[in-house]
Amino acid sequence: MFDPVTLVLIILALTVHEFAHALTADRLGDPTPRSQGRLTLNPLAHLDPIGTLAMILVGFGWGKPVQIDPYNLKNPRRDELLIAIAGPASNILLAMLSAILIQFLGGYQLIIKFLFLNLSLAVFNMLPLWPLDGSKVLVNALPFQTGYRLQQALQTYGLPLLILTMLPLFGGVSIVSQIIYPIIGFLGSILLGQ
């Protein structure tokens, strides 16, 4: 369960993440996010009710995924890849802005927490498991037939695999934690100049 300040920071990071997906899709020619009211920084447009409740109750949740229509995109495979990358890239940008603030204002815990929350969101979302952004990046980066077959497999087995990798199996530590924490720590040390 998150404390109220951490919850606000996560909602802010999730809002920017989902807005970045929506804005990129809109700029690449898909009006779907705009028509669904997702082209906004209002958190209410991006919060999934169950995902938000889960954040409050169990300390893990999700935002409402941005829907796109690939038929509106000029180059669907490339554009879907760019749309998928936009969310994690926005979190990396927020982490970088946090690092700049730390340089000017000092190492306030709130800013450091926001930096690491954004790095966590970016790195976690780049895991190549459905429904995370990394799966869409991988599928669209591969040759078409290979990507199509992988997409079918990920949509069938990706979510159960993701859940399995998040369970604390090895001495109370999940596989996901063992993968992403070293990456988050490395990126954080670079941004903080350590």
80 given a catalytic annotation: no
State the catalytic residue, choosing from 9, 14, 17, 18: 18
DSSP 37-69: T-SS--GGGTB-HHHHHHHHHHS---BPPPP--
Structure tokens at 24: 């990129």
Structure tokens at 140: 């669209």
Structure tokens at 136: 């869409």
Structure tokens at 192: 């903080």
47 bridge partner residues: 63
Angle at 54 between CA 50 and CA 55, to 5 degrees: 120
Annotated catalytic residues are 18
